[in-house]
Amino acid sequence: MATIRKTGQADRAKNGVIVILILGTLLMLGDFVYTTLDDAGEFKILETHSNLDCNVVKGVLSSEDITIDRQTGMAFVSSGIRGLGLDKGGAIIGYDLNAKSLKPVNLTSDFKEEFYPHGIGLYKGAGGAASLFVINHRSEKDYVEIFDYAGSKLVHRRSVSNVLMYSPNDIIPVGRDSFYVTNDHGYRSFRGQILEDLLKLAKSYVLYFDGDKLRIVARGLSFANGINLSPDGKTVYVSEVIGKQISVFDRDVKTGALALKNTIYCGTGVDNIDVAEDGSLWVGAHAKLLTFAKHAKNQKLPAPSQVLHITMKNGKYSVDEVYLDDGSTLSASSVAAAYKNEVLIGGVFAPRFLVCEKKMQ
């Protein structure tokens, strides 16, 4: 009988350890889930507000990125991102902000290659010549397409691809053939990228193309997304969606090298960056990242839209939320581009964009 009691006690002790391990695992899992939801902004209570008076413009397949030629008032809209289930692909849409009759116009109807545009960037050369650089997610691999803007059309000039550029997101040109591009994940596989996002691994990077060779110039970013350049060309801004911040780099104009000098914490899922003429930043953002992920799978499910305006005051960056919508007007804002007294807001999958006027303060 004594042996039986000892065996029973040992079994109970063993079972107790197992229960403790299970409870500990569940607690850690619960803590991980809670932290993930909290970091993604899912517990935020959103109060819709706006410092902008906005009107809806239709006539696009989507409006993931927008850049404006501030000399002419022509806005270029990236329309038809891969993921919308489009058979014929998308286009770059032109929208003349100074025209009397404002109608979106397809500027790439002559481009015959498979075309699913993502991030875009505008380069102005000598004499005002304009070139548009476009991330294109073709079926076989990703490309940067370079177009010259001639009259009312974008004329294709060059395609660039590279093994390092397997998940490109946004682009900013710095010359007729040179550019920076963000690679938003470090892992190539879908599973690896999901793991990278869930564990908030800083594996993404920025590439620089000098017209001949492509190389990595910045590493250790948490989902590198939007990228842009200061008016003097000496500073590069890179948004980190999962890091919820914008990294600020000093740029070596001669070599293209980048050196991190500052970060701007925004507390939200920052996307594309527009640099205004006064040097301030306009940023489209995602207040609830997991809600955005659901929207990406099913566009019938709305996702909040958010716009930040970032200025420098007394040597410090000031981040102001100037627009927040629950997604009923425009879902999943990814860009805000400023022109004079107007701001254009686009969404990743939205078949529309907003043209807004700044309210008088």
264-322 per-position pLDDT tens digit:
999 999 999 999 999 999 999 999 999 999 999 999 999 999 999 999 888 899 999 99
Q: Which two tokens stand for residue 52?
A: 């902008």
pLDDT of residue 135: 98
Residue type (1 letter), 239 = S
Q: How far apart are the C-alpha atoms of 129 and 132, rounded to whole Å?
A: 10
Residue 1: the pLDDT is: 47
- pLDDT value at position 315? 82
Q: Residue 226's CB: how many other CB atoms inside 10 A?
A: 29
Sole residue written with tokens 């964009």? 353
Task: Flag whether pLDDT at 40 surpasses 70.
Answer: no
| Active-site entry in 49, 118, 286, 295 | 118
pTM, 2 dp:
0.90
**Domain parsing of the chain, residue ranges:** 1-39, 40-358
What are the b/e assignments for 340-357, b being 16+ CB within 10 Å?
eebbbbbbbbbebbbbbe
First-last CA distance in the chain? 87
Domain spanning 40-358: which superfamily?
TolB, C-terminal domain (2.120.10.30)
230 and 279 Cβ atoms separated by less than 8 Å = yes
Is 137 marked active-site? no
Q: What is the DSSP string of 81-132?
A: -TTS--SS--EEEEEETT-SS---EES-TT--S---EEEEEEEE-GGG-EEE
What pLDDT does 220 receive?
Answer: 97
Q: In what order do the strands lie in the sheet with 52-57?
A: 52-57, 353-358, 342-347, 333-339
Question: pLDDT tens-digit profile of 204-240?
Answer: 999 999 999 999 999 999 999 999 999 999 999 999 9
